[in-house]
Structure 1
Amino acid sequence: MAVVVIVGCGAMGSVYAGLMTDAGHAVHVVCRRGPHVEAIAARGLRVTGHSGDRTVVPAGAVRDAADVVLDRPADLVVVATKAYDVAVAARSCAHLVGPDTVVQTIQNGLGSPEVAAAELDPGRIAVGVVGGFGASLPEPGVAHHNGMEMVRFGPWDGLPAAQLEASAGIWRSSGFSVALYTDLGRMVWEKLVMNAAFSGPTCLTGLTIGGVLEDPDAWAVARACAEEAVAVATASGVTLDVGDPVEHVRRLGGAIPHARPSMLLDALARHRCEIDAINGAVAREGARLGVPTPVNDTVTRLVRARERTWLRPGAQPPGCDPA
């Protein structure tokens, strides 16, 4: 049995926590959403969808990692917050990290490992990307997911291979198929191409992934976002290994047609979006490398403008949500 702390137990983090708890690991849940934590503490955590239907009781559920108390350092700490919360999350879980702890950062987009490494020992950090889950929180204490296509990890800065493998073993014992990478650029950009295609476009249109694939105008934008991301990755010296990248995006998206990417869910909930770490990151890297990214840049600016309608102090939520 491993001691695991999931910092950022939203939709994706709840799927991790539920399956790991079900496998017999001592999982501590950290989530800032009060109703979700309260429901887990009162009734347990229910995970439904692709992996089945189970209700489990984690070892603990708190709103701040600083409140997690362990008898020994954790074997695995998963930082599954939004990209903009990584610094605070990493700082809050420093007391849980020992000489053999693996800290996995799992965020969309670019930049999270660097942020975590400024707060924790870089030699403890593994970079993670996941995809094809289509996870959501239909109600407090309940997580649903449509698939579990991709779980990948690689060492950030000196993490021993044996410890990386041990952390992957925790995931595998919980029903996840895990691949380990040494080429972090390839690992991260293969996921970012998918994120760029669907995150901003679904946020702006309100369509599911399947809806974007079926709508010729929405797909034209999503495809252009993906193609620009591929061009930036190539200019960065990254070699993608997915065959035709656009068909790869279509295949992965087609496997979860009813899924709403997290950026769309954030917009519907009037939360801050991760646009700057995804489509915005493609645009920034493109500008740095001299690669034109007009579609990603436009999508980023439009999402920021839309986001400001509910993040501006005193702003009232718009009168209707996208369908």
Structure 2
Amino acid sequence: MQKNLDVFCVFYNLNLIKRWILLKICIVGAGALGSTIGGVLAESGSEVYLINRREEVVDAINKNGLMLRNGKTDRVVAVQARTSCAGIGAVDLVIVLVKSFHTKQAIENARDVIGENTIVLSLQNGLGNEEVIAEIVGEERVIAGKTYVGGVVLGPGHVQATTKGKQTYIGELDGRITERVKRVAKVFDRAGLLTTVTSNIIGIIWDKLLINAATGPLSGITRLPYGGLYKVPEIKEAAFAAVLEGISVAKAHGVSLDTEDPETIWWKAAEGLPDEFKTSLLQSIEKGSETEIDYINGAIVRWGEKRNISTPVNKTLVANIKGIEYALQYCEE
């Protein structure tokens, strides 16, 4: 009898441990970054669903598996892909990685997977996504994060993934260190996603915003990947000017930044990335789609206006990207 009880206790405890380190996860917006993160989470044992609206992508993943390329080597990950959240049931964690201008619609379409204890984590670029999500699912469900993991789509269901040495930060919006955030971090760490729980996630959101503000629009305007972007001194000077404006705006709002040195921010943007790596904004332009410029440099402009801070460099970068978007949509080659 005691032996049977001991076996039961071991089995029960193993199940508790498994439930702690594994999650049922839905990636809403499984593009390059979403597929990268979802893929490594699936590899580590979590039950992962990738949501991508493109049927050819979903079909490729379900037929052949998700292909992740590290350097020149491809590996296949078994993971489930869907065009919608229908039929999945409630999940433990929803990770939102759609473009910022699709956030509201994407969360409304994800209601089927949001149960009583579901956490919703935004790892999106820019400012304001968490507020949009909270309006739909309630602020108590929302945690925020920023990641330096990278991904580039090579083809349907085929992604170049950059995770090694790339940090991810997550935290409660009110700065508390909670068990639920620590659990998510544990799951991420187990998948090889270096994750830190922070009490200053708002500051870290701004840290990432400044990096994107430095490289995104200038890459989009010049069409240069990181290798070329960092070889032109004038581009560096323009990036520094945009970042310095952003730092002034953040400080005026009482945001605590990791650094106020534009050079540190400039070099951190490309840290560990290959020369051929392209910013997400450039990837959007090459696909002829709308960019997130309004939520990056445009956010600096808007937040600057709230404190009467002039941001002419960021306004100019926004104007240039808006012009490129217009040309791609309305002008012939």
In the alignment, residue 83 of structure 1 is paired with which amino acid? Answer: S
Q: Distance in 2 between matches of 1:157 and 1:91?
A: 24
Give a deviation string over 1:85-125, Cα, whole Å, max 9, x none: 11111111122122322110111110100000111121111
Equivalent residue number for residue 300 of structure 1: 318
Runs (4+) of structure 1 moved beyond 4 Å? 157-160
Correspondence 1:16 to 2:37:
yes
Equivalent residue number for residue 239 of structure 1: 256
Q: Distance in 1 between matches of 2:303 and 2:311?
A: 9
- Name the Cα RMSD after superposition: 2.0
Equivalent residue number for residue 78 of structure 2: 57
Q: How does 1:25-174 map to 2 (within 5 A)?
A: 25-49=46-70, 53-58=74-79, 60-65=80-85, 67-70=86-89, 73-131=90-148, 133-148=149-164, 149-156=166-173, 161-174=178-191
Contact 1:123-1:157 at 8 Å conserved across structures: no
Deviates more, 1:256-265 or 1:160-169: 160-169
Query: CA 1:225/1:210 → structure 2, altered by over 3 Å: closer, same or farther?
Result: farther
Give a deviation string over 1:291-311, Cα, whole Å, max 9, x none: 221111000011011101223
Contact 1:122-1:157 at 8 Å conserved across structures: no
Equivalent residue number for residue 302 of structure 2: 284
Q: How does 1:195-214 map to 2 (within 5 A)?
A: 195-214=212-231
Give a deviation string over 1:46-72, Cα, whole Å, max 9, x none: 1112696421121x211122x2423xx
Contact 2:247-2:260 at 8 Å conserved across structures: no
Contact 2:26-2:48 at 8 Å conserved across structures: yes
Q: Distance in 1 between matches of 2:72 and 2:99?
A: 24
Q: SS of 1:238's equivalent?
A: coil
In the alignment, residue 222 of structure 1 is paired with which amino acid? Answer: A
Superposed displacement of residue 281, structure 1: 0.7
Query: CA 1:288/1:51 → structure 2, altered by over 3 Å: closer, same or farther?
Result: farther
Q: Distance in 2 between matches of 1:224 and 1:68?
A: 49
In the alignment, residue 30 of structure 1 is paired with which amino acid? Answer: I
Give a deviation string over 1:195-236, Cα, whole Å, max 9, x none: 000011100001112322210122221221112111111111
Is there any run of 5+ residues in structure 2 with no aligned partner, and where? 1-21
Query: CA 1:174/1:254 → structure 2, altered by over 3 Å: closer, same or farther?
Result: closer
Q: Which has the larger radius of gyration?
A: 2
Q: Distance in 1 between matches of 2:143 and 2:109?
A: 18
Q: SS of 2:247's equivalent?
A: helix
In the alignment, residue 305 of structure 1 is paired with which amino acid? Answer: G
Q: TM-score, normalised by structure 1?
A: 0.90
Give a deviation string over 1:237-265, Cα, whole Å, max 9, x none: 11212363422321442432331010000
Is there any run of 5+ residues in structure 1 with no aligned partner, and where? 319-323
Contact 2:176-2:199 at 8 Å conserved across structures: no
In the alignment, residue 8 of structure 1 is paired with which amino acid? Answer: G
Deviates more, 1:160-169 or 1:268-277: 160-169
Give a deviation string over 1:32-51, Cα, whole Å, max 9, x none: 12221111011110111269
Superposed displacement of residue 147, structure 1: 4.4
What is the count of residue pairs matched by the alignment? 310
Q: Distance in 2 between matches of 1:214 and 1:112?
A: 33
Query: CA 1:19/1:51 → structure 2, altered by over 3 Å: closer, same or farther?
Result: farther
% identical aligned pairs: 28
Q: Distance in 1 between matches of 2:234 and 2:262?
A: 19
Q: Distance in 2 between matches of 1:77 and 1:6?
A: 6
Q: TM-score, normalised by structure 2?
A: 0.88
